[in-house]
Amino acid sequence: MSLVQDPKLGVVIPCYRVVPYLEGVLASIPAMVDHIIVVDDACPDSSGLIAQRVAERDKRITVVFHEQNQGVGGAVISGYRKAMTFGCDIVVKLDGDGQMNPDLIPALIAPLVRGSADYAKGNRFRELEALGQMPKVRLFGNSVLSFLVKAVSGYWNVMDPTNGFTAIHRRCLDKLDLDCISRDFFFESDMLVHLNLLDAAVHELPMKAQYGDETSSLKIGKVVREFPLKLIRRLTKRVFFKYFVYDFNMASVYILAGVPMLVFGMIFGVVQWIDSALTHTPKTAGTIMVAALPVILAFQMLLQAIQIDINRTPGRNDR
């Protein structure tokens, strides 16, 4: 692999209601960054105009305006495309609310520069002090979400999937179909799914997050309603492509055998239980075994498939 020792570096900052913090964030971006791309995602506070004023002093800044709000994913994707036109080798995504420390950019991109990773992201779960500062509801939600995204994305070694402090190499960005990636709050998780389909190596950087009086635009009710369905769809997509299109191995066999057996055992068991309750007639041991045995075997097969999936997590050479 041909490595760029002095890569052209771009930073994408999606902006939506971050006016109180934006100037400070822009001023703190290190000189090693070649291009700063601010994406005003139809911000009602006109974040882009603030960035344009700063751009008069810092010529690295380019502002992209969205006529309609596209969500954080849509803003980042617009930034990625602009960075590609600038010929950037590595693109960092940095939020405009001041929760991320730009001084960590050199450490974040280091594994990409040396070729041991294609994508890097922050991880707030490695810092005990940061965990103590994290709101308890957010901590619990991120812990549950991390486990679910591990299974869905196939990156079983990754935590803190919603962390938006990321860096991606051009060699990986060129292969991504950006039109297929979710543009809303599911963006970071969906990126991992699509990266797994490319067998991209992911590196995590322990970091501290800063929590202040910033206002989140995330609607919890919408997340609860839509996130589970999005996770199921992406899991189905990843499993189909990884184990039935790109490859076929023992995990494929376990899935093909285990899923129908699990469905049959559960449906048969529920039907027999309802019939027994309505007729007040206990079922025979044989009938119970017909329901239980497929479920037990199916769980064993699916656990084996999960183990194979864990072993197939795209590796990192930096370990």
List the domain boundaries for the chain. 9-225, 248-311
Q: pTM of the predicted model, to two decimals? A: 0.86
Per-residue pLDDT tens for 28-82?
999 999 999 999 999 999 999 999 999 999 999 999 999 999 999 999 999 999 9
If one looks up domain 9-225 in CATH, what number appears? 3.90.550.10
90-93: strand order across its sheet: 61-65, 35-40, 9-15, 90-93, 166-169, 119-123, 202-206
* SS3 state of residue 39: strand
Per-residue pLDDT tens for 76-129?
999 999 999 999 999 999 999 888 999 999 999 999 999 999 999 999 887 666
Q: Is 139 in contact with 159 (CB distance < 8 Å)?
A: no
> Residue 116: exposed, middle, or buried by beta-carbon count in 10 A (0-12, 13-18, 19+)?
middle
